[in-house]
Structure 1
Amino acid sequence: MSKLTDILQSIRPESDFTQSSDFLEDGLLDSFDMVTLVSSLDQAYGISIDGLDIVPDNFKSIAAITALLGKYGATE
């Protein structure tokens, strides 16, 4: 597993994030989980995600989160 999927599994261990293309629409993450996810990503990757980037589209899939991490120079 990658660091990102490990983080997602730590937030919602019962969910299979690899099978979803929209975590929020599919009910895998809610707004409280997003706050936890942002904090976990900041800590794990040594970045600080700007508040303007904390929008559902940036957290709806592994690909979207990976792209957001890339914007901040973090690599998987």
Structure 2
Amino acid sequence: DAVGRHDTVGGACSKESNTLRYGHHTWSQHACVDNFLAEGARHGLGKRDLVSNVNWYMNVPVEKDGTLGIVDGIS
């Protein structure tokens, strides 16, 4: 691909990451993790069964101090 940025570290979006990125007013909204857990529960799966995912075209740089940046995509 021409973008070359795909996140394999940050995982699925959560209420916490959405609050950081979009503001506190998003706290009550479902996030990716919630959706995966709700669907998995229908099949007897729980949080321990949730595996890492790839966020295609997501730009999550690792900063010099080791923290993850959540920045706009470059695609």
Which bracket does the TM-score occupy, shorter chain normalised?
under 0.3
More helix by share: 1
Where relative contact order (Cα < 8 A, 6+ residues apart) is larger, the structure is 2
Q: Flag the structure with larger Rg.
A: 2
TM-score (norm 1): 0.26
More strand by share: 2
